[in-house]
Amino acid sequence: MNREVHVRFWERAGVRLPCATHFPLHRQAQMLKRQGITLDRSTLSAWVGRACWWLTPLYELVLGTVLSSNKLFADETTLPVLDPGRGKTKTGRLWCYAVDDRPWTGSTHPAAAYVFSEDRRGEHPTEHLAAFRGTLQVDGYAGFGKLVEARSDASIKLAFCWAHARRPRKTCGQCSRERSFARPAGWCFWQDDRQRRDIDQE
């Protein structure tokens, strides 16, 4: 999932995102110094930490609101993270959980919540979605399949975009236009978003 996906999501929600470049604190300190403003990186870091503390209740509210929906989109993307002492970065993961029911006149407001993890292990979405019940739209990442298998009450059903559903099954024989061929329990394939909306409205 790249930045373009997130930009399109928020633009559909009526939010215009600036084409801004995000700078790490040491670069911000250098830029400020060129303007005659001397601020140590530790000062900037303390400000960021304090802002995070104040914003934590808002973050938890957004995350809780998103996960309370019965239809959820989930994906993850890479995120470079500073690796002190090595002089370079390591690859972290940013998990996105989003809901947007407007195309089928749902009552839920569009929202997206992000959760950071140091790697891509399947235990992370399992932990993030521990309280979620409903339909989860995802890509072909196997970790989401394990999430379904761990739910003995079948409280999560996975929905895939048609492109991801076809990748491991290039030869499928006779397929229905509405639903795909035989599938594992708890897995549901939809051809596109329009068809998914039709199914929901029924």
The structure's pTM equals: 0.67
DSSP one-letter string for 36-96: T----HHHHHHHHHHHHHHHHHHHHHHHHHHHTSSEEEEEEEEEEEEETTTTEEEEEEEEE
Say if residues 125 and 142 touch (Cβ distance below 8 Å): no
Max avg pLDDT among 37-51, 72-86, 159-173: 37-51
β-strand 71-83 against 134-138: which pairing, if any? parallel
Please report the pLDDT score of residue 10 as a whole number: 54
Residue 27 main-chain phi, psi, to 5 deg: -75, -35
- Say if residue 182's pLDDT is above 50: no
**Domain residue spans in the chain?**
3-201
Model pLDDT for residues 21-62, shown as the tens digit of each residue: 467 788 888 888 988 999 998 999 999 999 999 999 999 999
Radius of gyration of the chain (CA): 20
State CA 188 to chain mean position distance.
Answer: 19
Structure tokens, 114: 């992000």
Q: Which residue, among 98, 179, 181, 105, has the nearest Cα to 138 in the 3D structure?
A: 98
- Say if residue 174's pLDDT is above 50: no
Q: Which residue, among 140, 186, 185, has the nearest Cα to 162 in the 3D structure?
A: 140
Say how far apart CA 94 and CA 88 lie, in whole Å.
19
